[in-house]
A = this chain, B = another copy of it.
Amino acid sequence: MSNVKAYAAKAATKDLEPFDIERRKPTAEDVEIEILYCGVCHSDIHTVKNDWKNAKYPSVPGHEIIGRVTKTGENATNFKEGQLVGVGCMVDSCQDCSACAENLEQYCEKGATFTYNSTDKHLGGHTFGGYSEKVVVDKKFVLNIPENLDVKAVAPLLCAGITTWSPLQQWNVKKGDKVGVIGLGGLGHMGVKLANAMGAHVVMITTSPSKAKDAMELGAHEILISKDQDQMAKHKNSFDFLLNTIPVGHDVNPYIGLLKRDATMVLVGAIEPLDPIHGGGLIAQRKRLAGSLIGGIKETQEMLDFCGKHNIVSDVEMIDIQKINHAYDRVIKSDVKYRFVIDMKSLKNN
């Protein structure tokens, strides 16, 4: 074991502060990674603040990790020192259940080991995330990062990217489909970029007319202001697919009204109670509401390769780790376009 520097919350709603954590020495299956960049996801804030009532302290958040390999276990032969790699929301799973067999480790029937706040099988206690100098991860959960991309802007692909990619793939979004992306934040801006690159006709659905220009620059072909009843009526029963990135409970009925017969809206953000859904809205044209949780490791690699080919990265604002509490305040106010990424070099300043 070795101690490394990190930033951690020691109790709910407290600010994050410098902290020393233990990282294991790599086993034969492991890859040790020096962390270069780590994206700031809203889940980090939910955990620090214990919004989901399951936080373990001290908590080191961070699951959008980009780094370079510093050591490899003898069986981790796919990786070599100096290689650019990524780690997303998971660092392990049972590798034995039907979900793992289908490369859907996020639905592991015994529970995936998430990058932070999960039981640590090696050291006991719980896992620590990417706001840290180093991370040691089983080779199966280490991703190859296309070298042609702006590396620091790749970090958010490991959560925001795969979370939007996975449902677009699962529901077979294809060239010419009319796809609505609901909500323009960290997830939504990736949804627009990815759906555009897949050849869909992308409609940004937002409450804020002020976001129209940005959405078009990101790749939306059309804007639908969801508060405008006339616009909503015009688009009724017309969407092949809706990706709903709103991160809180809300009224989904108007969006269900936008779906074509047999079309699906997938929730990826709202891990909260929704307003009452009218059964008739699903029954009348045989519509579907579904959920989706991040994505498996295989599809994460496919997404990264796709992004490499199509030159897609996140729009990011870089910060030093010392500014993390301020960044959290701004995320909560949706005052970021569209993802903060921590330059982990700044940890050396502590």
Binding site for B on A (CB under 8 A): 99, 104, 107, 170, 249, 261, 264, 267-293
Contacts and interface: CB of A to CB of B under 8 A. Distances in A.
Given A170-B286, A267-B282, A277-B289, 9 more contacts: A99-B261, A107-B285, A271-B280, A274-B278, A276-B276, A282-B291, A283-B293, A284-B293, A287-B290
A110 to B, nearest CB: 12
Given A288-B288, A289-B290, A273 B278 contact: yes
Nearest to A246: B279
A166 to B, nearest CB: 9
Number of copies of this kind of chain in the complex: 2
A289 B289 contact: yes
A272 B283 CA distance: 10
Most B-side CB within 10 Å, residue of A280, A285, A291, A293 = A291
Given A107-B261, A261-B99, A261-B107, A267 B279 contact: yes
24 contacts: A170-B286, A267-B279, A270-B279, A270-B283, A271-B278, A272-B278, A272-B279, A273-B277, A273-B278, A274-B276, A274-B278, A274-B279, A279-B291, A280-B291, A282-B289, A282-B291, A283-B293, A284-B291, A286-B292, A287-B290, A288-B288, A288-B289, A288-B290, A289-B289
Contacts of A280: 271-272, 291
A270 B279 CA distance: 5
Contact of A282 (B170, B279, B282, B290): B290
Nearest to A237: B109
Given A261-B107, A267-B283, A283-B267, A276 B249 contact: yes
Contacts of A274: 276-279
A270 B280 CA distance: 7
Contact of A249 (B279, B289, B293): B279
